[in-house]
Structure 1
Amino acid sequence: MKCAALTGISPDLIRDLRSGRPRTIEIQSTQNIVTIANVEPGPDVQIFLTSTDAEDLGPGDSGICVDLLSSAISMKRIVEYSQGNYYEERERMSARVQVKYCFSSVVREVFREKIYSPTAVEVLKSSCYHAG
């Protein structure tokens, strides 16, 4: 299954998502914002989350697939004043996404054209069986 990938996600957050409850996370990584900007939320839209950095992502890396329930991208403007006359203006883009855990998975192939293009991966659904 081919899907968008968000990289560099905290292992603690991934562990928390495995509980099955929907969570809203804020993303500030440029690579992840570019990726999420190209995905429309929907009932059957899944994205791959991994703690591996984008540069290191490759076949065999593990993560989880989540349903993308909603997403919003916003720009925050920050103005800092100093010494009365000098001020500095900065902008920071961030994305807030609400996701819900689906299943654990492993990367089969990575699709990335350039550094500021969306990251996509083909994943394999991991199967785990317990004797009972």
Structure 2
Amino acid sequence: MKCAALTGISAEVIKELKRGRPRTLEVQSAHNVITVSGVDPGSHLFMTDVDRDDLAIGDNGIIVDVLSIGITMKRIIEFSYGSHFEERERMAARIQVRYCANSSVKEVSPLETIQPTTVEVLKVTCCHAG
């Protein structure tokens, strides 16, 4: 199954999702916001704790069902010494997801700077003793 991938998600968040309850996450890294912007509610999404640049065949993660998505822009203005100010904008994506299955990366699409991260994944249905 080919699907979008969120990378660099904390292992604790993935463990919490495996408990089966829907959770809302906020992602702020540019590559994850770009990926979320191309996903629709009702679709599947691959999530892993592996960094985007290190994503490779065989990496493990989970598949989640996307329940809702919201993308927001935050503007921050900082004043200093009364005459100098700095204005910044930060885009963030909030996404509500529910655990579907464990999975493993079968193939990674070429990683481009301003494109969503996509992978081909396999559902893992059994555990291997190590």
Normalising by structure 2, what TM-score?
A: 0.95
Q: 1:86-125: CA deviations, max 9, x gaps?
A: 1110001000000000000000001135122111111011
Name which of 120, 123, 126 aligns with 1:125. Answer: 123
Q: % of aligned pairs identical?
A: 55
State the aligned residue count: 127
1:112–1:118 contact (8 Å) kept in structure 2: no
Aligned-residue offset at 1:8: 0.3
What is the distance in 2 between the residues matched to 1:104 and 1:121?
14
Are 1:54 and 2:85 matched, yes or no? no
Alignment of 1:95-114 (within 5 A): 95-114=93-112
Gap regions ≥5 residues in structure 1: none
Aligned-residue offset at 1:41: 1.0
Query: Where in structure 1 do 4 or more consecutive aligned residues deviate above 6 Å?
Result: none
Normalising by structure 1, what TM-score?
A: 0.93
Aligned-residue offset at 1:72: 0.6
Aligned-residue offset at 1:128: 2.1
**Structure 1 equivalent of residue 80 of structure 2:** 82
